[in-house]
Structure 1
Amino acid sequence: MKLVRLLLFISAILVLQTQLNAQQERISGVVVDMKDTPLQFASIYMEELLTTVSSDENGNFSLVVPKNYNEIHLRITMVGKKTEQLVIKRGQFSRVLRIKMEELSYTLKEITVNPILQNTINSNSSIVFDEEAIERIQAFSLMDILNTIPGKATVAPNIDKPQMLNLRGNQEGNYALNNSLGIAIVVDGVNLSNDANMQTRSLSQFSMGGGALSGAKSYTGGDVPFQGIDLRDIPVETIEKVEIIQGVASAQFSELTDGAILIDRKAAKTPWSFVTNVNGGSTNFSLSKGVELSKKAGALNLAVNYAISNPDPRDKVKQFNRLSTSAMWSKNFTKKLRNTLSLDFNKKIDQVKQDPDDETEQLSYSRDYGLRISNRLNLRTESSFAKNINLTFSYSQGQQHSYKQWKLNQSPKGYSYKDTTGIYEGVLLSGRYIAEEEISGKPVTGSMNLNANAHVYTGDVLHVLSYGFSGNYSNNGGKGIIADPDKPRWINQGGQNARPYSFEYLDPLINYGFFVSDNFSVKVGERKLISNLGMRLDQQNGSWSVQPRLSTVLKWNRNLDFTAAFGVSSKSPTMAHRYPAPTFLDIPLILAYNSDASLYLVYTEKMIADNSHLKPSKSMQAEVGVRYQHPWFSSSLTAYWKNNTDGFSTVKKYKQTTLPEYTYYFDAVQKKMIYDQTGGFVNFYGYGDYRMDNLLNLMTYGLDWMVNVKKIEPIHTSLNFSTSVMVSQERPRGTDIVSLSEGIDIQGEKIWYVLFPPSSYDTKLNVMSKLGTTTHIPRLGFIVMANFDLFWTRRTRSKYGDKIQQSTFYQDLAGNAKPYPADFEKIPVRDLSLSKNNQPFIYGCLNLSVAKELKKRFRIAVTAYNVLNIQPENLIYSPTNVESFTVEKFNAPLSITGGISFKF
């Protein structure tokens, strides 16, 4: 009977949908340029159905109009053209629309060169940059665009060190690594992944924060394990639109806890475009072209970008090179079927060359080569259960090679090299050689996304249902950590030495998930409520994660909106988290040498890490906001709360090791060291390793306020203002185990390890404002932009105000945590040296940009950062020596970026 009722229900739905389809109307139109030439690949977005269609080779398009809708809203976008927004009344549905699109130019009366806060299908709180706004920034990488959003300082381009993004969270230590890891970078529907990046030294020896190879000569290294994508890898000249989601994303998006960056690249006919920008020792070149192959063959977009940077052109020791090329073929096979095939190649070399005057002969480099191929297929159907079907495949493969050398001049050192547990004779190194560190990886990633949407009515309410599946694959087949026993860089550091560790036989990571969401609007009295209710279910590292998400907008009237959102999201651990190199504890038993013989007797214990227990990191977010739109200005106020839990971090673990005692002597006849056991045993303390776990918890809340004043015609100037207030509270889990230099006696037992609460337990406050003006004179094709960053305060308050933290438990010889006896008076304390660099005063930074367009083809622009060259200073005195101090500087010195762009 249940099966019969189910079949009857499905049949009733099908009949109802057939009747509803008969009631639906269509609108059609043609998109042309100002010369009435049809435009192919223009995007027509209907707000009511959350649907985007593309114009065909003749510029034609058509859309189904939902029943009972008296008006619809269309947004038409096209590469190189001004965006058009239309409201179509029911009486106009039967007309063939003719939409003319103007070419982007500074001579247009209205242009958009600032980011816009928008309600999109992806989020309630998206910040959107269109093509014109992106070009005005004169960016060397995606990071320069993101630095212009509220709460971020506008700084000069700097591609000499990795650029990692943080949104609404702590930007220090492992908290920053987790925040960056939890930001999804999505390019043309493909989620770029860093999960296969294993360019890290032994986690057990260097911890998560110190795993990447540092650069030579105090320069920053170029590797970014345990975190997100290095934004230096993403040039901006081929980008058409950037959408930044800081809050709750729709259920479609997976593998994120702290936001998403959505990037759409240019995919249509475009003129040749050459762009170059110069800032100090950095230069960026870009050349691109979109070719319409024929009316039936579609369009081919080609681009090449090259950047070179040297922070000090006088010595040319440090140098960064980036080459990016892309090819994108787009074709409308029918009016309902569109396909886009993309091929991307990138090459990056971040290098510190050897200085001929450096006696230590230091040099380092990080080389990265990558190839990515992806394909997007979009099919529109007449089925009510799958109006639009999108299928995306992506595969990428790369080669990473990191190297560092340093000439050492030390005393002889004992070195351990075996990879098994036991006592053996190691080797004695001279201490004078060129030490090397080397890591080689071959990351491979793949992804697949399949989603569709359906239109279902309940009464007069239209439900746009979206549903789909996503999966991703990560692997690394590199040689791994290459350790030459004759040239070790670190010897017996923390009781450990480097061993070779291959990535070739590691198991891949496979994550997948499903989502469904319902977008609908209902009447609440005289108000209109628009909601998107969704649910994700993800399988990540063996754990299922349920992620409800809701975004809603209450349209109070034509001018006033109230918004609210809530969502849960998660991010799986990467291969670097899951598969750290084994731990080798090397405990010296005898180290003796003379001119005739040497002996290094050592005990090695091998421990293989099993991090299968790691859970995905999680985030729970809530937002409420109000927005007001006036003919002369607009304003928005958003309050948010975010609770990040189960973040990845490392903690030191110590153990006691009991080993045989040895004695030795030098045999002059045999000219060798002779050793033997004494029969006694020795306890060794202070040896341990770092372990990975879900330890970090961070609560963040704050306010974002934005105001935009539209153009004041008499002075041709518009204004924008924003203020961001953010408070973050660290709540790490677990304990810190500290090894004592001298043991303490507790109830007749010698204790060497004591337990403290986590030292990182701070509350941070940041308040910042941005004030900008844009003066646009269309008749001259001239723009002047001024931006003033005002830093109100940056403060850190520690839970341990007196800088002293008392031990809570001790660890006995069996490894158990025990409380101190009630009468014990010598409980160890810990000086945390919590001298925080709080901002001592209010300060600001003024940036100025000027751009001029000639004949709509040639543009010249100059941007000055910290144009007044104001660099306030603060003296930080040593707490132990009043004559010792350091100088803390605020604001970087004056920096100028000059650039030209030419379209032909």
Structure 2
Amino acid sequence: MKARLLIIICLLLSIPLQAQIGGKLLDAESQQPLMNVLVRNLNTGRWTLSDRNGVFEISVKSFPVKLQYHLLGKVDQTHSYTKAQQQVRILLKDDNLSIDEVQVVAKRKKQSTGSNLVLQKQAIELVQAQSVADVMQLIPGKPLSESDLHERQLLTLRSAIFNETTKFNKNQGLGYNNNEYLLNNSFGVGYLVDDMPLNNNVNMTGGRGVTLKSGVFANLEENSSVGVGVDLKNLSLENIESIEVVQGISSARYGDHNTGLIKIKKAHGYTPLRVNANLRGGSYGINLTQGFELKNNQGFLNFGVDYLNSNSDPRSVLSAFERINTSLSWSYRRKKKFENRLTVQYGQNINSYNTLENAITNRTKGFDNKSIRISNASTWFTNASWLDKLEVSSLLSYGKNVSRSISEKNTGGTPIINSLDEGTFELSYTPVSFFASEVIENKPFSFFNRIELSKSFKTASARYAFNFGTNLGIDKNFGRGNYSENDLKLLSTPDRVGYRNVNFNSLVPADVKFSSYVTSKISTKLFGKIWVTDLGLRYDLYNGISMLSPRLNTKLSLSRKLKARFGAGLFAKSPSLQSLFPGNLYYDFVIADFRTNNYSFALGHTFVRKYETPNIKPSKTLKFETGLDYTTKSYSASLTGYFNKQYDGFTNQRYFEIAQLPEFSYTFHPDRAPDYVQIGTTPTLLDYRRATNSLEATNYGLEVLLAIRKIRSINTSFNINAAYRYTRTFSDLPGYTKSKDSSSEPFIGLLRPVPQTYKTFNSTITATHHVPSIGLVITLTAEQFFNADTSIPERDRYAYAYYDRNMQYHNIPEQDRGLDKYIPIRSTNNNLGASSSRLETFYGNYHLRVAKEFESGLRFSFYAINFLNHRPILERINSDGELTYSELNRPISFGGSVSYKF
């Protein structure tokens, strides 16, 4: 019996619980060992590091397995293994222009089950970008053009919307465009920096929900991006290692977005000192990065500094833009047990305020922005049967941004209305000449915490990886809000909506978000074919509203070359604080203004309408995506079709109210202000807007990517992409017309809304001539624009309902809508017929980029947008017979950069 027991024990001990893969990592050029190379098991997420001799060993539970070898400054390698090995020899090449192939465009992420695109560091550097906005033009379907650093840079994804200013090869979706649907699209794009959320939900501004450019979309001029997304020109490229673009179905791990997800990965670890300087148009910048190892195995420090200065119009100092961004990170790894990353980022606009003087007026305007982000991510690895690793991530973000507009006024004295209460008041006057200022101070604060548990295991038929996590987010604005430094509230005309000091800290409570999720990755076989599926379910609690969001991405390998993809999911974007807490409305009226040599007397009345917190729901999008990927040794191709249905989009709903404005009689005196007594009231219309969920958009389209690997005989590779996009927009909010006839009983007419459709089709061909032996890359990009079409169906000029003078609602029977009684509320718009704006010609645009790298580490780069200065002219005959001309391309623009790696 003892002998049998001893044999069983020996047999059990002889069975390895985990197989080992080991070997050596060497520099491809010098054949010297590489230390601290990260060897990661892509199946389980487990990792190890190579030692000073380049030796590594990693435990593997099951085969086949994929290992990734990663070291900053080197080209990543991924290898598959079907059995244990101890003599692996990996040669890593420097990530420079001497490698066999360089990446200059966005490419499909190989490990993804969806349509994710990846921009590696090489592509980011070769585009010679000054901010993330420039890099985003590499997304298929985006036109290439010189970006404007003096307007907000917003990213939109998979939308065909354009207007006449963006139609002809402009910064479509990246520039100044106040289309509500585009703003919802840009607001719905989520951003992650090292897996930590970055958003603009907390900022607020003036205007407090009064006009179309207020409320949800607040004061949208030039640099303001409040309530509409992240301004990409403030995101520098210092220390960025890669950018992943998820236009389709993102993991249930990520929430608070419904358009797409941008995942920015920063460099952490050892990197040589690198300095980069660039010049383009009226701007220049300098970037410095380095990472080094601390003594006694205490990890690595990595820092970066990025400075940018730009002035689009040297004749006006008001257009200057200047910023500096810095980052410092400490990363530490303890083999098989623990890893930690602590990051501090600080950014500031340092030009502050600029003044323009001339003979008429002095104007000063500026935007002072400071922000700091502190994040920490820790991971513990265990050998427990129920847990592989525990991740805890935390983020603290705080900022202060102050926008100030100051102008000299010479109005001869104007009545001031600045009451915070409703009623009639005697008014004071401004000085004859003075400086008026309006200041908005935001102090956005955000806290984010994520706790995640992970477990992977394998059965006889499948491999499973599960993640369970919870998120807690708190957003708060501690700013002074709207205030005027001299407290002068001007009212130049009657019936104007007044503005008041609004303290964000006291007005706006903290916005708390809670989320939890479960995700699973299942790798198995279906009919003998490899089948990988990502499943997830997310629960979110936004603004007191609960939501469940299922997500699915699945990929089936029909053969070694051909793979089929499908994805579906529901996404939600929480409203901004600007929408949730718009503040009070003040309607100011000057009732009397009498001025003599002995006195000045003004009487005013204010109506106050207090906002309760609106019950605004998250904006939602239901997404579907399918595609095919085909890969051979000489080329790879992919075709993706998508359908997105957005609903509950953010907009403003119009409201009307009849208020009673008091009337007074006056007894005048020669030497003092008159006496007055109220004698009645006059009905007065108050017109205002409130945030609501009433926008819908349907987007669908096709995307084609074709990458032809380098043809050795000519040292040239080709990348072709094409995108067809269709967008249909609709809001169920009616249009309105006001009667100008004071005797008509119908007062405000309601017109039925109509949808609007957009279509765009364009393609890009990029030829990359690359000679590794001399470190030369020449890139020629040809854009083709085939279609840009928008159409609106015929709109009804007859009101279907109306409000009378007492604001009572009345339906109008269809057969009666043409009666003379309703002529005063009939639309007088002459453009109510069906309309269409169409690109009536095919045209192209051509761009050139050149980069030369020397063995010393010095690199020179040059680019030219529209380098042929090809500017075709489109002739049009308007409805009135007038001939108009439109230039289809912007003029040539160029720039360059020089970098040195020590």
Task: State the match for 2:193 in structure 1.
Answer: 187
CA distance in 1, matches of 2:593, 2:57: 83
1:892 partnered with 2:890? yes
Q: Aligned to 1:426, what secondary structure does the other structure show?
A: strand
Q: Deviations over 1:634-663 (max 9, x none)?
A: 111100000111111113322111244322
Offset, 1:671: 2.2
Alignment partner of 2:497: what SS? coil
Q: 1:598 to 1:804 in 2, by over 3 A?
A: farther
In 1: Cα distance, 2:223 partner to 2:528 partner = 57
Q: Once the two structures are superposed, what CA deviation does each residue of 1:27-65 show, in whole Å capped at 9, x if it has no partner?
A: 344544344555455343434335565556765655443
Deviation at 1:409, TM superposition (A): 4.4
Deviations 1:337-369 (A, max 9, x none): 111111111002566733333622223111100
SS of residue paired to 2:435: strand
Q: Is the 8 A contact 1:207 1:690 kept in 2?
A: no
Is the 1:200–1:225 contact (alpha carbons within 8 Å) kept by the matching residues of 2? no
SS in 2 for 1:176: helix
| Distance 1:877-1:88 versus aligned 2 partners, 3 A rule | same
Q: Whole-Å Cα distance in 2 between the matches of residues 211 and 359 of structure 1?
A: 32
1:871 aligns with 2:861: no
Q: Which of 782, 799, 818 pairs up with 1:807? A: 799
Find the aligned partners of 1:875 and 1:320 in 2 and give their Cα distance: 37
Which has the larger displacement, 47-56 or 766-775? 47-56
Q: Specify whether residues 213 and 203 from structure 1 end up closer, same or farther in structure 2 by C-alpha distance, changes over 3 A only.
A: same
Instruction: Provide the rounded CA distance (Å) in 2 between the counterparts of 1:624 and 1:435.
Output: 57
Does 1:797 pair with 2:794?
Answer: no
> Following superposition of structure 1 onto structure 2, how do residues 92-131 of structure 1 map, counting pairs within 5 Å?
93-121=84-112, 124-131=114-121
Q: Aligned to 1:504, what secondary structure does the other structure show?
A: helix
Aligned to 2:678: 677
Match of 2:826 in 1: 829
Which deviations, in whole Å up to 9, do the C-alpha atoms of 1:789-845 show, x marking residues without a partner? Answer: 111111110133xx6643221123454432125545143333274776543322221
Whether 1:296 and 2:288 are equivalent positions in the alignment is no
Tell me which amino acid in the other structure corresponds to 1:162: R
Counterpart for residue 251 of structure 1: 252
Q: CA deviation at 1:132?
A: 1.2
User: 2 CA distance for matches of 1:166 and 1:52?
Assistant: 36
1:235/1:484 CA distance change after superposition, 3 Å: closer
Give 1:143 deviation, angstroms.
1.0
Summarize the Cα distance change of 1:493–1:197 in structure 2 as closer, same or farther, 3 Å threshold: farther
Any residues of structure 2 matched to 1:528-543 within 5 Å, and which? Answer: 528-543=530-545
Q: Which amino acid aligns with 2:717?
A: S
1:148 equivalent in alignment to 2:145: no
1:68-101 Cα offsets, whole Å, 9 max, x none, are x3x32223222110121212122xx142533231
1:5-404 equivalences under 5 Å are 24-34=18-28, 35=30, 38-49=33-44, 61-67=56-62, 69=63, 71-90=64-83, 93-121=84-112, 124-169=114-159, 170=161, 171=173, 172=177, 173-205=179-211, 207-208=213-214, 212=218, 221-294=222-295, 296-349=297-350, 353-357=354-358, 359-404=360-405
2:780 is matched with 786
1:774 counterpart (757, 768, 782): 768
> How far apart, in 2, do the equivalents of 1:329 and 1:723 lie?
42
Residue number in structure 1 paired with 2:651: 649
Q: Is the 8 A contact 1:222 1:365 kept in 2?
A: no
Tell whether the 8 Å contact from 1:200 to 1:211 is kept in structure 2 after alignment.
no
Total equivalences in the alignment: 864
Instruction: Specify the SS of the correspondent of 1:634.
Output: strand
Residue pair 1:622, 1:641 contacting (<8 A) in 2 also: yes
Which residue identity lines up with residue 578 of structure 1 in the other structure?
A: L
Give the distance between the partners of 2:42 and 2:447, measured in 1 at CA: 32
In structure 2, the CA distance between the partners of 1:75 and 1:208, relative to structure 1 (3 Å rule), is: farther
SS across alignment from 1:110:
coil
Partner Cα separation in structure 2 for residue 438 and residue 614 of structure 1: 28
Cα distance between partner residues in 2 of 1:592 and 1:453: 76
* Contact preservation (8 Å) 2:525, 2:531: yes
1:817 match: 809
* Residues 353 and 891 of structure 1, relative CA distance in 2, 3 Å threshold: farther
Between the aligned partners of 1:647 and 1:350, the Cα distance in structure 2 is: 36
User: Could you tell me which residue of structure 2 aligns to residue 697 of structure 1?
Assistant: 696
Distance 1:734 1:50 in 2: 50
**1:449 CA displacement:** 1.4
> Residue 758 and residue 368 in structure 1: after superposition, are their counterparts in 2 closer, same or farther (change >3 A)?
farther
Letter in 1 for 2:100: K
The aligned amino acid for 1:607 is: R
Using the size of structure 2 for normalisation, the TM-score is 0.91
CA distance in 1 between counterparts of 2:840 and 2:435 reads 45
3-state secondary structure, aligned to 1:143: helix
User: Residues 200, 657 of structure 1: CA spacing in aligned structure 2 closer, same or farther, 3 A cutoff?
Assistant: closer
2:317–2:355 Cα contact (<8 Å) kept: no
Separation in 1, partners of 2:841, 2:385? 61
- Once the two structures are TM-superposed, the CA of residue 372 in structure 1 deviates from its matched residue by 1.1
Partner amino acid, structure 1, of 2:79: L
Change (3 A) 1:794 1:26: same
Report the AA paired with residue 843 of structure 1. Answer: Y
How far, CA to CA, are the matches of 2:699 and 2:495 in structure 1? Answer: 35
- Residue ranges of structure 2 left out of the alignment (5+ in a row): 1-11, 162-172
C-alpha deviation, 1:633, in angstroms: 1.1
2-structure distance, mates of 1:868, 1:489: 52
Three-state SS of the structure 2 residue aligned to 1:715 is: coil
Identity of aligned residues (%): 25
Kindly state the Cα deviation for residue 193 of structure 1 after the two structures are TM-superposed. 2.1
| Partners of 2:799 and 2:760 in 1: CA distance | 31
2:582 to 580, 583, 591: 580
Structure 1 pair 510–210 and aligned structure 2 pair: CA distance change class (3 A): closer
- Segment of structure 1 superposing worse, 831-840 or 594-603: 831-840
Letter in 1 for 2:74: K
Task: Give the conservation status (yes or no) of the 8 Å contact 1:319–1:352.
Answer: no
Change (3 A) 1:530 1:887: same
Matched residues in 2 for 1:178 and 1:373: separation? Answer: 29
1:472-501 Cα deviation digits (max 9, x unpaired): 111111111003575446645863111100
Deviation at 1:325, TM superposition (A): 0.8
- Can you list the C-alpha shifts for 1:258-304, whole angstroms capped at 9, x where unaligned? 11111111111111100011002100101111111125111111111
User: Which stretch shifts more, 507-516 or 72-81?
Assistant: 72-81
**4+ residue segments displaced more than 6 Å:** none
2: CA distance, partners of 1:558 / 1:726: 31
TM-score, normalising length: structure 1 = 0.90
Question: Any residues of structure 2 matched to 1:465-864 within 5 Å, and which?
Answer: 465-483=466-484, 487-488=488-489, 491=492, 495-505=496-506, 506-668=508-670, 670-678=671-679, 680-685=680-685, 687-743=686-742, 745=744, 750-758=745-753, 761-800=755-794, 805-820=797-812, 823=816, 825-826=819-820, 827=822, 828-830=825-827, 831=829, 833=831, 838-855=838-855, 857-864=857-864
Question: Which stretch of the first structure deviates more once superposed, 174-183 or 263-272?
Answer: 174-183
Contact 1:551 1:564 in 2 (8 A): yes
Task: Note the C-alpha offset of 1:198.
Answer: 1.2
RMSD: 2.6
Bigger shift: 261-270 or 44-53? 44-53
Q: 1:488-520 deviations in whole A, cap 9, x for unaligned?
A: 466458631111000122211111201101111
Shift of 1:718: 0.5
* CA deviation string 1:400-420 (max 9, x = no partner): 100112334447544321111
Q: 2:626 & 2:58 partners in 1: Cα distance?
A: 33
